[in-house]
Amino acid sequence: MLRFFFRLRLDLGTMSTQKPRILTGDTPTGQLHLGHWVGSLENRVALQDEYECFFLIANMHAFTTRADKPEEIRRSTIDIVKDWIACGMDPERSTFVLQTEIPGIAELTWYLAMLLPFNRVMRNPTLKTELETKGLGDNYSFGFPMYTVGQCADILLFRPELVPVGEDQLAHIEPCREVARRFNQMYCGVNPHTEDEDYVKEGGLFPIPAGKVGRVARLVGTDGVNKMSKSLNNTILLTDTFKKIKKKMGGLYTGRTAMDEPGDIKNALFDYVRAFISDEDRVKALEEAYSKGDNIGDGHIKVEIAEHIDKLLEPMRERRLPFEGEAGDAKILEILREHTKRANNAAEETLYLAKEAMQLDFGKRNLSFD
């Protein structure tokens, strides 16, 4: 009955505006940088009109490795929303999902945990890398690997078609796709031979979501060697000034020793040229001159790149202005409160349908949030 009601509401209420959905998000662990921009943020901004977007702040996941730092996590939670708005993720068009205020996520995590073999969870390469890079050894919490199941619930609760993420997150999308298929087969009677795109048509609750990696899957950091990442201190932050950008670019290792020497356009410098100079003719001209050793210095190119990055960040600085300081924090919290209501509406609808499919429909509940 309720299922019928929801379908009807969807059909009548949003007939002309119903769009496919996106869900993606970030763990609040620090400020966002250019690697995030080219890997995922840029896609999110661009897809906001075509898709109904849900952007998740994974603040519960932040506790999996920093349970002793609630204050830092709260600060980061607010700052990440400021970064988002600065980027052009638009609170008018899109919904920001504050993970800890969406009880349906924790509930669905439990049900999905029953559909994922323990060994499958532990085999996740991203999880393994994290255990190493974060030096977690054998002492990690039970909640740490649990977050990979939680991430499936984050996604599926919003029934998105698309999940735009950085390359490192693809390993999390795969178990999500597996668990969605399994749920649809086990509880909605979908034939296991069904093609991924047809699961909903065949009666499944969850679309099988596709990951989508950004234009530059792996942006090298300003050390010129490793992937840009906060823990390696090789980032250009979205809040950096022109002066800072120039200084950081200046330190980029290129491996070249003299400017009349043919340069290697596969070096880090040219990764930046291609990532941040949008004029293709200019990129080609630089590549030609550099590979010939045509008296074009690294320093010169670095400044040119810094100027392009600055131009990219300029409108971000503008959009951030109304959210500076404590008054800005208050505005962010207000947005999050409003959006929590919206997010819970969507989440509760899916959760009800999931529980109904599992024969757990014992009554309809109403969540209220002030």
Residues that bind ligand TRP (CB under 6 A): 23-27, 56, 58, 61, 151, 154-155, 163, 165, 169
Q: Choose between 169 and 234: whose C-beta lies nearer to ligand TRP.
A: 169
CB of 117 to ligand TRP, least distance (A): 21
CB of 158 to ligand TRP, least distance (A): 9
Beta bridge pairs of residue 213:
165
Distance CA 161, CA 362 (A): 29
Structural tokens at position 238: 């979205």
CB of 108 to ligand TRP, least distance (A): 12
Region class of 224: left (phi > 0), else alpha (psi between -120 and 50), else beta: left
Q: Choose between 60 and 249: whose C-beta lies nearer to ligand TRP.
A: 60
Q: Choose between 23 and 47: whose C-beta lies nearer to ligand TRP.
A: 23
52-57 vs 210-213, strand pairing mode:
unpaired
Distance CA 271, CA 320 (A): 28
Q: Choose between 228 and 252: whose C-beta lies nearer to ligand TRP.
A: 228
Q: Which residues contact 165 (CB under 8 A, 6 or more apart)?
A: 24, 39, 40, 172, 173, 211, 212, 213
Q: What are the backbone dihedrals phi and psi of residue 163, each rounded to the nearest 5 degrees, phi first?
A: -130, 95
Tell me the one-letter amino acid at 66. R
Contact between residue 122 and residue 80 where contact means Cβ atoms under 8 Å apart: no
Beta bridge pairs of residue 55:
24, 96
CB of 260 to ligand TRP, least distance (A): 44
Q: Which residues contact 18 (CB under 8 A, 6 or more apart)?
A: 10, 52
CB of 54 to ligand TRP, least distance (A): 9
Q: Choose between 18 and 129: whose C-beta lies nearer to ligand TRP.
A: 129
Q: Choose between 33 and 61: whose C-beta lies nearer to ligand TRP.
A: 61
CB of 159 to ligand TRP, least distance (A): 13
Q: Which of 158, 70, 170 is nearest to 108 (CA)?
A: 158
